[in-house]
Amino acid sequence: MYHSGAQQLMYQDPILWALTAAACADKHWRLIAYLYNAKNGTAGQKTGFLHLDLDLKHHQNQGLGKNMVQSTVSLTDENDKGCTLVIPGFHRVFQEWVKTKQGMINSRVSHRCTTDMKGMYTAEDK
């Protein structure tokens, strides 16, 4: 369901745009939306719910993605077993957290945009 009509309509919502633009650290208001695949957590899909849409190696080495804002829209009620985990306030400590994961990032994470955070975001991090 890449680039579905429903996703395109959601990204045209002026309130979603305003909230996203307000969250941008660099205060840019011309935004690019990268549509993501639709996911059904109860249909047996194996994609993880604890992920970070960022290439950590490029972010750490070159600063790529430092002004990126990630958002999601859910059309159903979500619960602890079938939704993406959102960590309130993580943006405030993210740079420090990345520094603590330096060795793990260099040895484990490949150059890809979606990184499964199982094993990286630990109980100690919570």
Identify the sign of the CA torsion 25, 68, 100, 102.
Answer: negative
Q: Which residues pair with 102 in a beta bridge?
A: none
Band (pLDDT 50/70/90 cuts) for residue 15 is very high
pLDDT at 58: 79
Among residues 75, 83, 109, the alpha carbon closest in space to that of 6 is found at 75
Alpha helices in 1-126 (DSSP H): 5-11, 14-23, 56-62, 90-100, 102-108
pLDDT score recorded for residue 48: 59
Band of residue 14 on the pLDDT scale cut at 50, 70, 90: very high
- The residue among 81 and 122 whose pLDDT is bigger is 122
pLDDT in tens, 91-111: 888 888 888 887 777 666 554
The number of C-alpha atoms within 13 Å of 58 and in the hemisphere containing its C-beta is 12
Work out the percent of the chain whose per-residue pLDDT is above 90.
2
Contact 7, 74 (CB under 8 A): no
What is the residue-averaged pLDDT of the chain?
75
- Which whole number is the average pLDDT over 33-58? 66
